[in-house]
Structure 1
Amino acid sequence: MTSTDTRPAPSGPAPDDGAWQPRPPALTSPWHTPERAALQEQARRFAMDEVLPVADELDPQKGEIPRHLLDRMAELGWFGITIPAEDGGLGLGVFEYCTVSEELARAWMSVASILARAQGMGTSVADPGRRADLLRRSAAGSWIGAVALSEPDAGSDLAGVQTRAVLDGDEWVVTGHKRWCGNAKAADFIQVLVRVSDPAPGESRSRGLRNLLLVKERGSFPAGLTGYPIDKVGYHGFLTWDLQFDGVRIPADDLIVAPGDGDGDSSGGQQSSRAGFAEAQAFLNTARVHTAARAVGLARAAVEDSVLYLQEREQFGHPIGDFQALRFALAEMAADVEQARAFYRQVAHLLDEGVACEREAAMVKLQATEMAVRVTNQAMQLHGGNGYTTERQVERHWRDARLTTIFEGTSEIQKRIISDRMLPRSPLT
């Protein structure tokens, strides 16, 4: 930060100065252990001391996460939180993954998001030796990817994917248009959802979808792949791409296999014809809880910044924190954050226990992200005119929170998932 920056210091208030502080994690959740508490404290210090100053400098420039931060996260093992210890990871679960992500999102959401581009993503290939090597690279932070699911006409409706892959000898030839692919150019690989065959009459539209693994060099695109970065109002830290595939060639063995595929089926045949769609859906369950954790981090940032500002700003001879209306607004904001945190921890615990909880994942994504928009919006109001400037961090929290209700499935899609598992649909709908 520059010498003219009026924002609060990155480390926030001291624990004993009377200002509000989150409770120690061991006291707030029945799922916590001393090990989890230590991991959270480590992530909190890293976020506030190392990530937040970088975010304050680079986010206004729409800059990308610097390599030194990625290297530090790799040293800490966070790209392999959910990868088994025997494969080089920390051997932990979704709970710990989300705990670290909340802390990182409190400083800069993109840094929490880059964690999802590892965690064993892009390693489910048929060859066991290669799979083990990719897992170790993923855990070490040297196999960080991107996911190309959405298209201009297929976002919420992934079954409508039309990007086509055709076998030509021992290679897939991919042609199509993908959109909203974060980190695409900086990635070591792109996992691409493609259509390898069309469904027969009466079959589900998701038939014939598979995930291919496009291995590439960081900082460049292979032959046949072009794109441009989409200019966003927020979520800076890495670029989000619009991609055109024009005859991109991918080895036939670079096929993501799903459980039950055995040694893989490079023909894209009937036994695995729903594998791509099913794999994408399983990925989204964890991604939605991860998004809930990121939303909680953003909302918590707004609460903490508001606590400081309400003591700093004076009107009518008093700190504005003395006024009941503002105190009550702050109380509601803090209560909303605690509620959402408890919910995402519960669902993360269920995922770690192997419970199929698509409905709960949709619920917590809906509840936490809509909460984050409300809380960050209220924080801007508490900051008054200063909240509508780039001199304060609160506008960044709001811009990033607004996106959480859209990606990994919009709020409306979450409501559809929830209601479809509660009420049967009539044949006419």
Structure 2
Amino acid sequence: MSYMNEQRKMIQEVARNFAMSEVLPIANRLDPERGEIPMALRDKMAELGFFGILIPEEYGGLGLGAFEYCLVTEELARAWMSVGSIIRHSTAGSLLPVDMMTPYQREKYLRKMALGDYLIAFAMSEPSTGSDVSNISCRAVRDGDSWLLTGNKYWCTFADAADGILVIARSDQNIDPKRRFAGLTAFLVEKERGKFPEGMSGQAIPKIGYFGWKTFELALDNVRVPAENVMGEEGKAFYMVSKGLEKARAQTAARAIGLARGALEDATAYAGERQQFGRPIGDFQAIRFKLAKMAAEVEASRQLMYHVCDEIDGGRRCDKEAAMVKYLATEMAEQVASEGLQIHGGGGYTTLFAAERYWRDARLTKIFEGTSEIQLRIISDHLLGKAKS
């Protein structure tokens, strides 16, 4: 089955040319010094419509689906995963589904999001809460026609430079402990770029990769949010986030595949240039077989991603398959990136080559958007039913 039509081929070509000519040189220059994604690059992405891929045409977006979203993501991530990730921050890719916004919110935000003029960060995890959403403790208390948010959030990437932060907080404190995933509400905290709103402070978390932007620990002390900024139904944030997980996991797989492709392409080029014992190292079977295996694994993951995207765009449930592609692609990316670094030898362990960047960033893909262990749990629950508590 061929998933590619002429429109998709054109979108892929545009994204690939942009990634290789515009993004890659910037990544090679800024990542080693932990520089941030330039605003000028974001503006160029906006001109190409990358922030509006999933936004309906009536609001200035492209009105396309998960397939095109992941096509563009793979190309951008091949150059710099951080740039492949920033397109999530218009409608958070899927964490803020358009159909769960009120008509007022769509009019207010979507046109600006499609232009890249309104980007959001996502604050769900907490210092003691990762995948176990039921343990979120950040509190939301009603105060007249607004809410007051108090608590701590962790792993909030882009919190400083975003125009708003989508905060998941507990709005109902009297929920049955067995149903603690209920009672969570999503609040859009609006802010000025480069600053935090009144009552919020942030401290950058030191990371070993995913450069180009900062990731924060946030402290909220009675941050006031208008009631009209409740996104989705009150108490139903868990369902809102869950609704978008299939698309989000497919997009994470696309990021991992892009990284792996970068590692493969760079290692292939290096194998043709690097001379040892009087000939290119690409002439040696050990290197040739490494590259062949890497290529096969990248393509296998890509084809599964295409299938998952096709299922999502067809409106078919595929949470098991989305977990599978997220698991396989991210595990593959770390291994392929590691082999790419090995082929570069000692040079791969320097910042003179992008091999180490692919390796560092690939390692993260196994953690965010649900760890590999979480994906295995989802898959096994489909196969065996949920384990008895």
Does the TM-score normalized on the shorter chain lie above 0.5?
Answer: yes
Please tell me the residue identity of whatever aligns with 2:366: T
Residue 412 of structure 1: aligned partner = 373
Q: 2 CA distance for matches of 1:425 and 1:55?
A: 43
Give the C-alpha shift of residue 119 in structure 1.
Answer: 3.6
Q: 2 CA distance for matches of 1:202 and 1:242?
A: 26
Cα distance change, pair 47–220 in 1 and its aligned pair in 2 (3 A): same
Superposed CA offset, 1:322-348 (max 9, x none): 101110111000000000000111101
Q: 2 CA distance for matches of 1:295 and 1:202?
A: 36
Residue 198 of structure 2: aligned partner = 223
Q: Does 1:362 align with 2:362?
A: no
Q: 2 CA distance for matches of 1:186 and 1:124?
A: 26
Residue 22 of structure 1: aligned partner = none
Q: 2 CA distance for matches of 1:329 and 1:100?
A: 27
Contact 1:347 1:357 in 2 (8 A): yes
Cα distance change, pair 223–125 in 1 and its aligned pair in 2 (3 A): farther
Q: 2 CA distance for matches of 1:126 and 1:344?
A: 28
Contact 2:91 2:120 in 1 (8 A): no
Cα distance change, pair 127–298 in 1 and its aligned pair in 2 (3 A): closer
Q: 1 CA distance for matches of 2:7 and 2:223?
A: 45
Give the C-alpha shift of residue 31 in structure 1.
Answer: 1.2
Please tell me the residue identity of whatever aligns with 2:165: I
SS in 2 for 1:422: helix
Residue 40 of structure 1: aligned partner = 12
- TM-score norm. by structure 1 comes to 0.88
Contact 1:189 1:215 in 2 (8 A): yes
Contact 2:274 2:280 in 1 (8 A): yes
Please tell me the residue identity of whatever aligns with 1:109: M
Please tell me the residue identity of whatever aligns with 1:333: M
Residue 89 of structure 2: aligned partner = 117
Q: 2 CA distance for matches of 1:225 and 1:115?
A: 25
Give the C-alpha shift of residue 357 in structure 1.
Answer: 1.2
Please tell me the residue identity of whatever aligns with 1:425: K
Out of 137, 151, 163, the position equivalent to 1:188 is 163
Give the C-alpha shift of residue 253 in structure 1.
Answer: 1.4
Q: 2 CA distance for matches of 1:398 and 1:115?
A: 22
Q: 2 CA distance for matches of 1:189 and 1:200?
A: 28
SS in 1 for 2:179: coil
Give the C-alpha shift of residue 125 in structure 1.
Answer: 7.1
Residue 158 of structure 1: aligned partner = 133
Bigger shift: residues 199-208 or 364-373: 199-208
Give the C-alpha shift of residue 283 in structure 1.
Answer: 2.5
Give the C-alpha shift of residue 170 in structure 1.
Answer: 1.1
Q: Does 1:303 align with 2:264?
A: yes
Residue 11 of structure 1: aligned partner = none
Q: 1 CA distance for matches of 2:52 and 2:165?
A: 18
Q: Does 1:84 align with 2:56?
A: yes
Give the C-alpha shift of residue 201 in structure 1.
Answer: 3.5
Out of 71, 75, 87, the position equivalent to 1:103 is 75
SS in 2 for 1:210: strand
Q: 2 CA distance for matches of 1:426 and 1:189?
A: 39
The answer for unaligned runs of 5 or more in structure 2 is none
Q: Of Structure 1 and Structure 2, which has the larger fraction of its residues in helix?
A: 2
Superposition misfits of 4+ residues, deviation over 4 angstroms = 120-127
Percentage of pairs with the same residue? 52
Superposed CA offset, 1:265-306 (max 9, x none): xxx4xxxx3x11011112322111101001000000011001
Give the C-alpha shift of residue 200 in structure 1.
Answer: 3.7
Give the C-alpha shift of residue 426 in structure 1.
Answer: 4.8
Matched pairs, number: 386
Contact 1:126 1:253 in 2 (8 A): no
Bigger shift: residues 96-105 or 80-89: 80-89
Please tell me the residue identity of whatever aligns with 1:285: E
Residue 342 of structure 2: aligned partner = 381
Out of 253, 256, 259, the position equivalent to 1:292 is 253
Superposed CA offset, 1:233-285 (max 9, x none): 1110111111000111101111011xxx5xxxxxx4xxxx3x11011112322
Please tell me the residue identity of whatever aligns with 1:380: L
Q: 2 CA distance for matches of 1:130 and 1:210?
A: 16
Out of 121, 126, 145, the position equivalent to 1:146 is 121
Q: 2 CA distance for matches of 1:234 and 1:359?
A: 29
Q: 2 CA distance for matches of 1:126 and 1:100?
A: 25
Residue 107 of structure 2: aligned partner = 132
Please tell me the residue identity of whatever aligns with 1:174: L
Bigger shift: residues 335-344 or 29-38: 29-38
**Larger Rg, first or second structure (1 or 2):** 1
Out of 293, 307, 326, the position equivalent to 1:346 is 307
Please tell me the residue identity of whatever aligns with 1:214: V
Please tell me the residue identity of whatever aligns with 1:393: A
SS in 1 for 2:18: helix
Residue 213 of structure 2: aligned partner = 238
Contact 2:260 2:333 in 1 (8 A): yes
Q: Does 1:61 align with 2:36?
A: no
Please tell me the residue identity of whatever aligns with 1:136: R
The answer for unaligned runs of 5 or more in structure 1 is 1-28, 262-267
Q: 2 CA distance for matches of 1:130 and 1:407?
A: 28
Q: 2 CA distance for matches of 1:116 and 1:424?
A: 32
Superposed CA offset, 1:57-112 (max 9, x none): 11011111000000000001110001111111011100000000000000000001
Contact 2:51 2:114 in 1 (8 A): yes
Residue 383 of structure 2: aligned partner = 422
